[in-house]
Amino acid sequence: MKRRSAACAAAALLLQSLAGGAGAATGHVSHGNLTWTLVDLDPADGIAPSLRFLPPPAGPLGAARAYVSAFAGGALHEDNVMATGSDPLLAELDYSPAAHTSARVDGRADPATLSLSLDTVATLEPNGASATAWLHGGTLPFVLSANTGVTFHSTVLLQGERGSEPGIYDAWLASGTLTVSLDGLAPGGSMFTDYVAVTLSPSPGDPVAVDFTRELTVDYSNRTGASLTGDVALLAIGTTAIAPVPEPGMLPMALAGLALVGWTIRRRS
């Protein structure tokens, strides 16, 4: 968490260096609807294709985890929350009207009902404001039968809106990620990922709002005569920031700061 917190703090300091008007930026991400399809790669072997999920590992690896932060009133506020077993997770920081962020995980008793959602809201105040949420649904271990291909699917909803008032800098970064890790494969070839990301900023050509759904897909073929173990995980990230337009030469720095936040939380996922 140290590198992610440092990146958020850097972005907060950039916002704090700017000076005040009115406006708001909001974002929502939901990720879930995990499904899978199986293919029999060798019908003659007599093995019925199967995918069996195992109980989540004990400790942080199998836990749902959330990091939330809010920059409001010239100060950065942060929290880390973890939920083990099948317990739901809720992490929230409310510094309204300047900043509000919330993240939750539900349906952890069954991989098919696992659901992640997060909301970030930032409303302009003299020192600027931002809200960030990083959400991991927990590791879901599985056993894949021999000579079986599997395709995992999940659905990501991304909804964001920024103000269009003159003299306001506001932006939203968000992503959803589906990751599958497999045991016993060569290093560097054991993780498979699909993700979707979106950015709203005052850059020319960027829209004021987005609202779309994307299906993520990861597939793998176990072409061996033995079962294979692995795990699947869902992640969601959102960062919203708003501030007065800075002095000439400061806007590129602010954009770089927000890009740093997005890059850092992407690496940590």
- For residue range 28-75, list pLDDT tens digits in order: 999 999 999 999 999 999 999 999 999 988 888 889 999 999 999 989
**Lowest-pLDDT range, 10-19, 53-62, 73-82, 185-194?**
10-19
Distance of CA 60 to the CA centre of its chain: 17
CA distance 94 to 72: 10
What is the pLDDT at residue 189? Answer: 65
Is 35:153 a contact under the CB 8 Å cutoff? yes
CA dihedral angle for residue 178, residue 86, residue 140, residue 57, rounded to 10 degrees:
140
CA distance 245 to 20: 9
**Closest by CA position to 51, among listed 139, 115, 137, 140:** 140
Angle of helix 2-16 versus helix 251-268 axis, rounded to 10: 160
Q: Is the pLDDT of residue 1 over 70?
A: no
CA distance 118 to 242: 18
242 token code pair:
């708003």
Banded pLDDT at 266 (limits 50, 70, 90)? very low
**Percent of all residues in the chain with a pLDDT value above 70, rounded to a whole number:** 78
Q: Which residue has the higher pLDDT, 245 or 267?
A: 245
Give the CA count within 13 Å in the CB-facing half-sphere of 115.
Answer: 8
The pTM of this model reads: 0.83
State the SS3 of 21-75: CCCEEEEEEEEEEEEEEEEECCHHHCCCCCEEECCCCCCHHHCEEEEEEEEECCE
CA distance 149 to 233: 18
Q: Which residue has the higher pLDDT, 46 or 168?
A: 46
Q: Which residue has the higher pLDDT, 265 or 184?
A: 184
DSSP secondary structure string for all residues of 171-184: EEEEEEEEEEEETT
Banded pLDDT at 86 (limits 50, 70, 90)? confident
Banded pLDDT at 253 (limits 50, 70, 90)? very low
**Lowest-pLDDT range, 16-20, 99-103, 220-224?**
16-20
**Closest by CA position to 133, among listed 35, 239, 60, 32:** 239
Contacts of 110 (CB under 8 A, 6+ apart): none
**Closest by CA position to 193, among listed 222, 223, 216:** 216
How big is the chain by its Cα radius of gyration, in Å? 20
Tell me the per-residue pLDDT of 90-139, one tens digit each, with 9 for 90 and over: 999 999 999 999 999 999 999 999 999 999 999 988 888 999 999 999 99
111 token code pair:
């991989």
What is the pLDDT at residue 186? Answer: 63
